[in-house]
Amino acid sequence: MAHTCIHWFRKGLRLHDNPALMAALRDCKELYPVFILDPYIYNNTLVGINRWRFLIGCLKDLDCSLRKLNSRLFVVRGKPEEVFPKLFEKWKVTKLTYEYDTEPYSLSRDKTVTTLAKEHGVEVVYKISHTIHDMDRIIEENNGKAPLTYNRFRTILKTIGNPKKPIPAPAIEDTKDVKTPCSENHDKNDGIPTLEDLGHDTTTLGEEKFPGGEQEALRRLDENMARKDWVCKFEKPQTSPNSLSPSTTVLSPYVTFGCLSARTFWWRVTEVYQGKKHSEPPVSLHGQLLWREFYYAAGVGIPNFDKMEGNPVCTQVDWDTNHEYLAAWREARTGLPFIDAIMTQLRQEGWIHHLARHAVACFLTRGDLWINWEEGQKVFEYLLLHGDWALNAGNWQWLSASAFFHQYFRVYSPVAFGKKTDKNGDYIKKYLPLLKKFPAQYIYEPWKAPRSVQQAAGCIVGKDYPQPIVQHEVISKKNIQRMKLAYAKRSAESAESPNQSPSKKQGVKRKAKSVIDMLQKKDKK
């Protein structure tokens, strides 16, 4: 039977390694590629302008690729459970395909849509391709629980074996008998919206350093894989958080939106490694992809993974509520130039280096401001190009020493950490030009500069640039004691009810490698 099929693009905004799309093309007479602007995911209170711009770039690129296959992308606004019944009837659909998504909202949404599809006599086919491995299989192999350490996670993967090889993108031969009926008003009725259509003021929008889309993703992948020696020697903790141009691949936004298949990325790195000495997980490029998988598995297997309360692996901490501190951190006016420069780059570009995220996350939570990691998680989700739910939640718990990482006494210094890779403060000068005339000895601590130096620099601290909102040397010691109490309370509760949450011993297993020392830089202050 020849089907009339909708392929539902959500993530997986690509043609290469898209098994669900290939399933749609099988025995298909009419194909309707659909992307739904679901208000639960895509609204202006949750998604910042840089991420919107990246998404629009992805959709434009996807539509361009589909045109080459004599098809088009239909962009529809509304709740999927309201949109699909109308489309099923309008197009007389018999088959719906999509890429499997493990996020809690996605699972709930897909269950609802699948029920609606069956009520309309529509066959539903989904395929796993957003992650390298099947998360449910990983949890099953670990006795029904998410692995809580990276080493345990890798042990489970050894029993599963190598990832599947990616499949090629559909060619014109695959679509020669397939039609996509379009109206003359397609661009007006079902086309891709502009930022202005979505209610954004673009007058202050900066340069787009990381354009969205599959073609750009593959170009960047090729560019990075051509640096064979760099790929083989890559160790994430040895890259610089404050280099003026990215010291990593910046492929994470493309993997998050599915412009680049994680399996394609994995196997391209494997090809480069072939027959050569190379770095190993957790610090290698393969290691970075496995961290992604680790947090995805945690997101599937741990209830309330993006919250402190009701999350069985998360230490319950008596975080402060301080709206002024939170706003100062979010708006890059803490008075600590390294922190403010990072938050400025994040707002302007939608990307910051992984270790820069470490610095600002530690500062917001256990290091200095003692604010709940959930608040930082919201800010990152809004500002990052790739606000990936599982990675965002997992990394915030790690960096706040709430889960996975437990050496809470290791604190990033907002001064010393940046100096290690940028003594002159060139990164600060780039993102905080107000401070660019300060001499190197004061660029990280401008409040220590004599008044005459401040006047010569054209920036008076306390007037033109804020005084530090905290004294790191004092507050970090106090916060270490507060964290010690939270851990003691958790240990007592675990002793009373050992089956209620994972034991602390489980969380410390990562000591096997010296990665902690590489990732976490102890405060030298």
- Could you list the residues known to form a binding site for FAD, using ranges: 248-252, 288-295
Quickly list H helices, 458-500: 472-496
For the annotated binding site, the residues are 248-252, 288-295
CA–CA gap between residue 459 and residue 437 (Å, rounded): 9
Q: How far is the C-alpha of 97 from the C-alpha of 122, rounded, in Å? A: 10
CA 165, 168, 170, 174 torsion-angle sign:
negative
CB 15 within 8 A of CB 21: yes
Task: Specify the long-range contacts of residues 217-222, CB closer than 8 Å, at least 24 apart.
Answer: 217/14, 217/251, 217/254, 217/259, 217/260, 218/16, 218/260, 220/249, 220/250, 220/251, 220/254, 221/251, 221/260, 221/264, 221/265, 221/268
- Cβ atoms within 10 A of the Cβ of 202, count? 10
Element (H, E) at 124: strand 123-127
156-180 in b/e form (b: 16+ CB < 10 A) is bbeeeeebbebbebbeeebbeebeb
Alpha helices in 226-316 (DSSP H): 228-233, 252-256, 262-273, 285-301
Bridge partners (DSSP) listed for residue 9? 35
Whether the Cβ atoms of residue 53 and residue 207 lie closer than 8 Å to each other: no
Sheet of strand 123-127: strand arrangement: 74-77, 28-37, 3-9, 95-99, 123-127
Q: Is 192 left (phi over 0), alpha (psi -120 to 50) or beta?
A: beta
How far apart are the C-alpha atoms of 489 and 482, rounded to whole Å? Answer: 11
Q: Residue 363 half-sphere exposure, CB side, CA atoms within 13 Å?
A: 32
Strands 3-9, 95-99: pairing kind: parallel
User: What is the DSSP-derived secondary structure letter of residue 438?
Assistant: S
Pairing of strands 74-77, 28-37: parallel
Burial class (CB in 10 A: 0-12, 13-18, 19+), 440: middle
- How far apart are the C-alpha atoms of 61 and 204, rounded to whole Å? 24
